[in-house]
């Protein structure tokens, strides 16, 4: 695999991305026009959509979502989340910053988006993939997506999507998560037999839910669980979600702060089509991904390029290299990995640039995902 060269700072940070929409996906009866502005470019693009999109093999993409029937147009449960087969529909009715997040109204990701971009137009998406694509197709300006939680660990899906899509990390935001047990009015703890929520939320409340003897059922997101409980009028089930979700969907809070640890914090990444120009006037963090040849001490050498320059690593995550998951060496087969690393330095610093030039000498692949300000606040 060829090494991706770490280019000069100005060249690297101004590299744009573009995606073409296949003609096979176009429906002439569903064409819309989207406008966007860029410091380098002003133009209008005609975008067409079809009711279902296909992948490169011609197969239709399935949309995993809770099916809701007979919801009146004026229902407070609307708007529905943007799905993958609606990506060519306009989602903004004003000039506010449009920010995509995964989930429905009341999701923790919505709160993170509003913290990252106050007064934004938060746009719900059914899938993490949908949020990435919405940014790439100019339907929204930013996406705010979870990457790790202090109790549940990393959200591996989003690590994989960072490499699959050509977006840049332009910031981070940390959100304190306070889980509540939500049920329909009149339902008490003794009436409950099961609990619905996102797998991460269920894991973060494992001790409490075990003590209550509730059967756990995983759904796509926390607020989606609350929405389902309300729509179905369930009397034997509760949702693990936020107090905000209870207000939106008309549920009662049966129990508060049910997470196993009080310090339950989720870190979100802010994603954009263009990178920001890093500075040195505040604390910056840089995220990269790289792969290495198999051999003794190779990972040690990779980490040494930072240690030798007194650069602090704050996060390291390994993920399988999907196209070549196994490699043969000496008659044995090994897993092949990508390494995601966050370190405390700005790409405007010469020491960080030198570290990546050093790493480039023996890395088989190297990509800078973003250089952005560190979030030092906490909700």
Catalytic residues: 266, 268
Question: How many Å apart are CA 36 and CA 42, to the nearest integer?
Answer: 7
φ, ψ (nearest 5 deg) of residue 378? -155, 135
Q: Which of 320, 350, 346, 345 is nearest to 335 (CA)?
A: 320
Burial label for 284, CB within 10 Å (0-12, 13-18, 19+), is buried
Q: Which of 34, 55, 23, 123 is nearest to 83 (CA)?
A: 123
Q: Is 274 helix (H, G, I), strand (E, B) or coil?
A: coil
Contact, 268 vs 116, CB < 8 A? yes
What's the burial of 311, exposed, middle or buried (CB within 10 Å: 0-12/13-18/19+)?
middle
In this structure, the strands spanning 168-176 and 265-272 are antiparallel
Per-residue tokens: 234: 């369930």
Q: Which residues contact 342 (CB under 8 A, 6 or more apart)?
A: 285, 286, 287, 313, 314, 315, 316
Looking at the DSSP assignment, which residues form a beta bridge with residue 125?
82, 102
Tell me the angle at which helices 128-136 and 156-164 cross, rounded to the nearest 10 degrees.
Answer: 30
Secondary structure (3-state) at 236: coil
Which position has the token pair 């695999």?
A: 1
Spatial separation of the C-alpha atoms in residues 202 and 206, rounded to whole Å: 6
- Tokens 């797998």 correspond to 199
Contact yes or no for 135/142 (Cβ under 8 A) = yes
Measured distance CA(5)–CA(3) in Å, rounded = 6
Rounded distance between C-alpha atoms, residue 263 and residue 176, angstroms: 7
């Amino acid at each position: 695999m060829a090494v991706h060269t770490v280019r000069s700072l100005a060249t690297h940070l101004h590299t744009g991305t573009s995606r073409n929409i296949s003609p096979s996906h176009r429906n002439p009866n569903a064409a819309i026009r989207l406008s966007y502005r860029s410091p380098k470019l002003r133009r209008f693009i005609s975008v067409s959509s079809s009711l279902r999109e296909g992948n490169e093999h011609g197969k239709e993409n399935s949309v995993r979502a809770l099916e809701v029937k007979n919801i009146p147009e004026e229902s407070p449960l609307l708007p529905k989340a943007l799905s993958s087969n609606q990506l060519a529909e306009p989602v903004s009715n004003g000039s506010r910053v449009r920010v995509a997040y995964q989930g429905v109204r009341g999701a923790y990701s919505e709160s993170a988006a509003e913290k990252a971009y106050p007064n934004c137009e938060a746009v719900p998406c059914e899938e993490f993939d949908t949020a990435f694509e919405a940014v790439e197709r100019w339907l929204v300006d930013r996406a705010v997506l979870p990457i790790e939680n202090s109790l549940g660990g990393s959200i591996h899906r989003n690590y994989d999507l960072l490499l699959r899509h050509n977006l840049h990390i332009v910031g981070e935001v940390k959100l304190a998560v306070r889980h509540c047990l939500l049920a329909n009015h009149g339902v008490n703890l003794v009436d409950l037999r099961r609990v619905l929520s996102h797998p991460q939320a269920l894991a973060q409340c494992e001790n409490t839910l075990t003590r209550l003897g509730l059967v756990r059922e995983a759904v796509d997101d926390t607020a989606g669980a609350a929405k389902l409980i309300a729509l179905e009028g369930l009397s034997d089930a509760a949702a693990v979600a936020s107090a905000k979700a209870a207000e939106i969907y008309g549920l009662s809070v049966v129990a508060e702060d049910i997470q196993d640890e009080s310090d339950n914090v989720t870190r979100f990444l802010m994603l954009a089509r263009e990178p920001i120009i890093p500075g040195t006037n505040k604390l910056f963090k840089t995220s990269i991904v790289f792969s290495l040849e198999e051999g003794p001490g190779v990972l040690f050498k990779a980490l040494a390029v930072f240690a030798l320059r007194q650069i602090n690593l704050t996060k390291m995550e390994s993920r399988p290299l999907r196209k070549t998951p196994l490699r043969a060496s000496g008659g044995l087969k090994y897993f092949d990995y990508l390494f995601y690393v966050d370190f405390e330095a700005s790409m405007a610093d010469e020491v960080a640039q030198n570290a990546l030039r050093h790493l480039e000498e023996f890395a088989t692949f190297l990509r800078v995902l973003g250089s952005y300000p560190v979030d030092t606040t906490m909700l």
